[in-house]
């Protein structure tokens, strides 16, 4: 068998394995580890991983926002990525629902449909997926696309923070610090969640710890 074909088959097998490892990490709220796996899978031309990376670069949550890379990866992996997610959404997979929520809320790889995106986030959050809970917390705290409700935001942040979501831990600390959403002011709770978030590398939490 020609060397080029052997190399292609090896990369394809390794890319799929890395993607599956990343998917497992992300299901366990280990987002940085997941992105590392997706990046390695992308290097082996695994196009579903390429598409997922486009979403993360567009969102800028666990990697620095990079619209140029996001657009490039979207054009490379959109067809395979959207098809993959659609199949899993139909099976009510919470991680796929969360990704699809982003796709429809932002119009990223599909026509924008805020109502559909919001429902997908809710479906994912109801199954306990921490990132969907975090996103819903942000939406309810800001009133973006939903009725502003700080108590609902507090509830979602708490659910996600208790699962180790660093962003939720940071915003939960602010709820206690500013007594929002029905949370009583508590320096102990503020520090507890700030330290949790900062230990995972959240630079906003790290900065806030320097001022308290």
Domain ranges for the chain: 1-89, 130-212
Q: What is the pLDDT of residues 82-136, one digit of tens each?
A: 999 999 999 999 999 999 999 999 999 999 999 999 999 999 999 999 999 999 9
CA 86 to chain centre: 17
Nearest to 130 by CA among 204, 73, 61: 61
Over residues 138-152, mean pLDDT = 97
Q: Among 1.10.510.10, 3.30.70.260, 1.25.40.10, 3.20.20.80, what is the CATH number of 130-212?
A: 1.25.40.10
Asked if residues 48 and 32 have their Cβ atoms less than 8 Å apart, the reply is no
> Which tokens sit at 129?
């997926």
Over residues 10-29, mean pLDDT = 86
Confidence of residue 211 (pLDDT cuts 50, 70, 90): confident
Residue 149 and residue 153: Cα distance in Å, rounded?
Answer: 6
Confidence of residue 11 (pLDDT cuts 50, 70, 90): low
> Which tokens sit at 153?
């935001």
pLDDT above 90 (res 35): yes
Mean pLDDT of all residues belonging to the chain: 93
Q: How does DSSP classify residue 68? A: H
Over residues 159-166, mean pLDDT = 96
Confidence of residue 6 (pLDDT cuts 50, 70, 90): very low
Q: What is the pLDDT of residues 45-56, one digit of tens each?
A: 999 999 999 999
pLDDT above 50 (res 4): no
Query: Within 10 A of 151 (CB to CB), how many other CB atoms are there?
Result: 12
Rounded to the nearest 10 degrees, the angle between the axes of helix 31-43 and helix 47-59 is 130
Q: Is 1 helix (H, G, I), strand (E, B) or coil?
A: coil
Q: What is the pLDDT of residues 59-95, one digit of tens each?
A: 998 899 999 999 999 999 999 999 999 999 999 999 9
Asked if residues 183 and 152 have their Cβ atoms less than 8 Å apart, the reply is no
Nearest to 192 by CA among 163, 208, 210, 169: 169
Residue 99 and residue 103: Cα distance in Å, rounded?
Answer: 6
């Amino acid at each position: 068998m020609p060397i080029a074909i052997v190399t292609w088959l090896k990369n394809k097998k390794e890319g799929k394995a890395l993607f599956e490892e990343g998917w497992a990490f992300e299901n366990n709220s280990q987002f940085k580890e997941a992105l590392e796996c997706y990046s390695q899978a992308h290097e082996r031309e695994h196009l579903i991983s390429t598409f997922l990376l486009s979403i993360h670069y567009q969102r800028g949550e666990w990697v620095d926002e990079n619209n140029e890379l996001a657009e490039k990866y979207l054009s490379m992996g959109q067809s395979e990525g959207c098809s993959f997610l659609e199949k899993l959404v139909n099976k009510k997979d919470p991680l796929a629902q969360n990704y699809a929520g982003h796709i429809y809320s932002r119009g990223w790889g599909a026509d924008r449909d805020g109502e559909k995106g919001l429902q997908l986030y809710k479906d994912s959050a109801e199954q306990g997926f921490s990132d969907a809970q975090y996103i819903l917390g942000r939406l309810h705290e800001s009133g973006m696309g939903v009725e502003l409700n700080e108590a609902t935001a507090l509830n979602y942040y708490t659910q996600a923070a208790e699962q180790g979501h660093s962003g939720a831990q940071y915003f939960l600390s602010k709820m206690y610090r500013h007594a929002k959403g029905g949370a009583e002011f508590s320096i102990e709770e503020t520090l507890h969640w700030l330290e949790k978030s900062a230990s995972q590398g959240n630079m906003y939490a790290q900065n806030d710890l320097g001022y308290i």
